[in-house]
Amino acid sequence: MSGNTGDIKKTTPVLTGASNYLEWKSAMKSLLQVMGVWHYAPTQVTAVIAGQGGATAEQQATYETNQDKALSTITYYTSTLIRQNLMNENDPHTAWEQLNTSYGTPGTAGVFVKFKRLTRMTIQGNREPAPALNQMQSTIGYLASNGLTLPNSAQVMLLLGALPNDWQGFASTLLATLHINPTAAQIAAGVQQLTFDSVLSKIMEEWS
């Protein structure tokens, strides 16, 4: 367990702002889970044990130790400026919510992070493509819900661009079937008629 914790600590980024908040949040969740104190961040944990009317001295001590461990870990992996804003916090849940409010609310920077991630997604040639396809769909939906709606043609080009190298023949064949010796107008019409869902279904058929 300590080895796993050390490895995760090495790869946990320092929170610098909205631009890397999503990456930081995911890594921080993993780190706190390995440390056994994750539940102190998303929920308001108290030392009172339900049905027992209170906590023993030992339970209270464990609670305070875990609370401090969660809070110190969260604040340690933040920039100096952000850490200063958390100096008066003594509850990891409050600190977690404050960071989420400050940097997790979708904004231009957050949308850009998601868009950049979408453009870099790839589908592994030797793996079931459904998980990667679902992730792409989810990201496209996120972008649309936050003001960046990609046209069908752009979605399809990103999807085909994510295919592994040995699928390029499939992509070329798919695009070629739209028209034979197309005119400029037919090319434009063909691109517009493509949709993410229609190409996705053809990819799944090819995989099957």
Instruction: List % helix, strand, coil for the chain (3-state, nearest 5).
Output: 70, 0, 30
DSSP 125-181: TTS-SHHHHHHHHHHHHHHHHTT----HHHHHHHHHHTS-GGGHHHHHHHHHTT-SS
Q: What is the pLDDT of residue 189?
A: 59
Rounded to whole angstroms, the Cα distance separating 117 from 140 reads 11
Q: What is the pLDDT of residue 51?
A: 46
Rounded to whole angstroms, the Cα distance separating 50 from 24 reads 33
User: DSSP class of residue 113?
Assistant: H
Q: What is the pLDDT of residue 180?
A: 47
Tell me how far apart the 2 most distant CA atoms of the chain are, in Å.
Answer: 81
pLDDT values of the chain reduced to their tens digit, one per residue, 208 residues:
444 677 788 889 999 987 788 889 989 999 999 999 999 999 988 765 544 556 688 888 899 999 999 999 999 999 999 999 898 899 999 999 999 888 887 677 778 888 888 999 988 877 788 888 888 888 888 788 778 899 888 998 899 888 888 888 888 887 776 654 545 555 555 556 678 888 888 888 888 7
- Could you tell me the pTM of the whole model? 0.52
Q: What is the pLDDT of residue 203?
A: 85
Burial zone of 133 (CB within 10 Å; 0-12 exposed, 13-18 middle, 19+ buried): buried
